[in-house]
Structure 1
Amino acid sequence: MVKKCMLTYKTSNNGYKISHSHIRTKKIQNINLQTKKVWSHKQKRWIKIKICTKAIKSLYKFKI
């Protein structure tokens, strides 16, 4: 499964891991995904979605 937020569509980010001697190696910075049960007003039922923690904080803004 793709590591992507279902509300904000955020994905992982590419970056560098820099050692003490300043040698750069590539790394992937994954997003903090959580599985959450949310009440859907449109479907009138609980749905289970994978969303990032930033979207959990501002969940009231999204009309699911």
Structure 2
Amino acid sequence: MGKKCQITGKNFNNGYSVSHSHKRTKKKQYSNIQKKRIWLPETNSWVTMTISMKALKSLYRVK
């Protein structure tokens, strides 16, 4: 599986790389995707997920 978050589904953004002469070439702007082990208390086990760091931050945010 490629660089895609398993929770939010975000993968990459299309953009342009602009040179000094204003020549534009296509590029991909990837989000911060990492493999992390997440503890699931309902199943009492660890799960390895490919997740964006913004989704990980929202998982452990104190309410």
The amino acid across from 1:57 in the alignment is K
1:37 matched residue in structure 2: 37
SS in structure 2 of the partner of residue 58 of structure 1:
helix
Matched-pair identity in %: 51
In structure 2, runs of 5+ residues without a counterpart are: none
**TM-score w.r.t. structure 2 length?**
0.84
Distance in structure 1 (CA, Å) of the matches to 2:27 and 2:42 = 39
Q: Spell out, residue by residue over 1:5-30, the C-alpha distance to the aligned partner (whole angstroms, 9 max, x if none).
A: 01111011111000111110000111
**After the TM superposition, which parts of structure 1 deviate over 2 Å for at least 4 consecutive aligned residues?**
none
Deviation at 1:56, TM superposition (A): 1.4
The amino acid across from 1:55 in the alignment is A
Q: Superposed, which structure 2 residues align to 1:1-64 within 5 Å?
A: 1-60=1-60
SS in structure 1 of the partner of residue 54 of structure 2:
helix
In structure 1, runs of 5+ residues without a counterpart are: none
Deviation at 1:39, TM superposition (A): 0.6
Tell me the number of residue pairs that the alignment of Structure 1 and Structure 2 aligns: 61
**TM-score w.r.t. structure 1 length?**
0.83
Worse-matched range after superposition: 3-12 or 34-43: 34-43
